[in-house]
Amino acid sequence: MNCPCSKCSGSGSGKTAHIGQTYDAVPIEGISQGEALYQAFTLYQAFNGFKPSRVEKISHSRVIPPVVVELGELVGLIYRSDKGQPGQALTYIHRMENPPRLVSNIEGTQLYVVGGSYRVTPQGIEG
């Protein structure tokens, strides 16, 4: 599936479904776990074009440490997803218009993306 914009490229059919709706990230604080799961389910389905096969609860740190190591600008992302084609993962390349910063914890074992102006939408990663 190829993204039609000049900033992204994907491998595949060249068809992109335009649902016309974007989903902004909402902090977990202030919403119930049920609402958070619903928002995650809805965004997954909009982004991928199909429902998730499972919901998985994972344990990880949810807070960026107060001291981080600046690694540089994140000028692009390369990721693999089976969006639009369950079980047939394709590689997507997205170039960031307003690059966020890439930082790590002081141990160098966890990466964080900070800032930038991007959104996850049914069309893909925009911005």
Q: What is the pLDDT of residue 104?
A: 93
pLDDT in tens, 49-58: 888 887 777 7
DSSP code string of 11-63: -S---------------STTS-HHHHHHHHHHHHHHHHSS--S---------S
Tell me if 124 sits within 8 A of 3, measured CB to CB.
Answer: yes
Distance CA 127, CA 118 (A): 4
Report domain extents, the chain.
8-12+21-51+67-126
Q: What is the pLDDT of residue 7?
A: 40
**Any idea what the Cα angle at residue 52 is, between residues 47 and 97, rounded to 5°?**
25
For residues 1 and 34, the model is more confident at 34
Tell me if 119 sits within 8 A of 29, measured CB to CB.
Answer: no
Is the pLDDT reported for residue 45 higher than 80? yes
